[in-house]
Amino acid sequence: MSTAFIFPGQGSQAVGMGKALADTFPAARAVFDEVDAALGEKLSAVMWDGPIETLTLTANAQPALMAASLAAIRVLEAEAGLDLAADAAFVAGHSLGEYSALAAARSFTISDAARLLRLRGTAMQSAVPVGAGAMAAILGLDYDKVVAVAQEAAAGEVCDIANDNAPGQVVVSGGTEAIARAVDIAKREGAARAILLPVSAPFHCRLIESAAEAMQVALADVEVAVPLVPVVANVTAAPVSDPNAIRALLVRQVTGTVRWRESVAFMAGAGVTRLVEVGSGKVLAGLVKRIAREIAAANVSSPEDVAAFAASRQPA
**Known catalytic membership, residue 94:** no
Catalytic residue among 12, 69, 95, 107, which? 95
How far apart CA 31 and CA 33 sit, in angstroms, is 5
**Known catalytic membership, residue 95:** yes
How far apart CA 45 and CA 77 sit, in angstroms, is 25
Phi and psi at 215, nearest 5°, equal -70, -35
Report CA torsion sign: 9, 12, 18, 19.
Answer: positive
Buried b (16+ CB within 10 A) or exposed e, 89-125: bbbbbbbbbbbbbbbbbebbebebbbbbbbbbbbbbb
In which element (H, E) is residue 139 found?
strand 133-139
* Amino acid residing at 139: L
Residue pair 170/141 in contact (Cβ under 8 Å)? The answer is yes
Catalytic residue among 173, 204, 263, 280, which? 204
Largest CA distance in the chain: 60
Task: Just list the catalytic residues.
Answer: 95, 204
